Amino acid sequence: MNTAAYLRRIGLPELAGAPAGAENLRVLHAAHIEKVPYEALEIWLGRATTVDPVESAERVIRGRGGYCYHLNGAFSELIRALGYDVTRHVGGVQTRGREPGITANHLVLTVRGLPSEDNPGGEWLTDLGLGDGLHEPLPLVEGTYRQGPFRYGLRPSEVAPGGWRFDHDPSGSFLGMDFDPAPADMSAFAEMHRHLTTSPESGFVRTATIQRRDAYGVDVLRGLVLSRVGGGARSVTLDDQRDYYAALADVFLLPLADVSARERDELWRKLCAAHEAWLAGDTS
């Protein structure tokens, strides 16, 4: 992985060789969240991806994003190269109507050895793959935390002995997330990644979703509906192809330089068909 290129991608070339401290971790996390979108458009473009962190990092460097396996996998490679003690964990995001569990539908990161005034133990929840979740790392300490418009909770998990539970804000896109305390190999996510990228039951397959968090809220594009949660709340349907791709570039910093004109036209056709089905109430 080209660490210098990665740091340039997130606008922090000056952190090459900088001390691995809690404040620099916060800066790296916030910059990555703000500049690298949560997106799974590769599925809609018919492009296969893996959970390999180096492959994910290379795609981020080229100007794309990803979902949890890609974003947290890539970020773990970056900060490990910068000297941080990072561990990957198997997690489970609990969506509405589902029970909590360690389902491997989420990759979680923790970083240790970084004591600070508000976190003497020095262990941090570091998660860039929750879409409308964290903007900055959270101290891995039970409590309630506010970031922008969202109020989060951390507490011991009830389904993973020794693990942790992240409770999302009631306005968030999911209920919460649990993770196992044991270190995990990326192979633990391969089967669920296959399901999430190919199954008709997968939310990523059913809806093309893109999100980008900032300090004040989150921009969300689900299908053709662009909305804002937090400062400047809004919602609008992008019913013109030029407006859609302009929003990708301007709002989500996703110019899709690696996508041809033919691929863009085909993607737009798929998005419009899915939007029409949604308007008609077809949830099959």
Q: What is the pLDDT of residues 80-110, one digit of tens each?
A: 999 999 999 999 999 999 999 999 999 999 9
Is 5 part of any domain? no
Is 48 part of any domain? no
Residue type at 193? H
pTM of the entire predicted model: 0.95
Is 246 part of any domain? yes
Print the domain residue range for 261.
Answer: 201-279
Residues 221-263: pLDDT tens digits? 999 999 999 877 789 999 999 999 999 999 999 999 999 999 9
Query: What burial letters (b/e) apply to 63-79, b meaning 16+ CB within 10 Å?
Result: ebbbbbbbbbbbbbbbb
Is 15 part of any domain? no
Is 217 part of any domain? yes
pLDDT value at 73 more than 60? yes
What total of structural domains would you count in the chain?
1
- Residue 248, pLDDT score: 98
Average pLDDT over residues 112-129: 96
Is 155 part of any domain? no
- Residue 283, pLDDT score: 54
Which helix (H) or strand (E) segment holds residue 241: the answer is helix 241-250
C-alpha 231/C-alpha 67 separation (Å) is 24
Choose among 40, 60, 31: nearest CA to 137.
Answer: 31
Contact of 221 with 235, CB cutoff 8 Å:
no
Average pLDDT over residues 27-50: 97
Average pLDDT over residues 21-50: 97
Mean pLDDT of the chain: 96
Report the CATH number at residue 265.
3.30.2140.10
Is 240 part of any domain? yes
Is 7 part of any domain? no
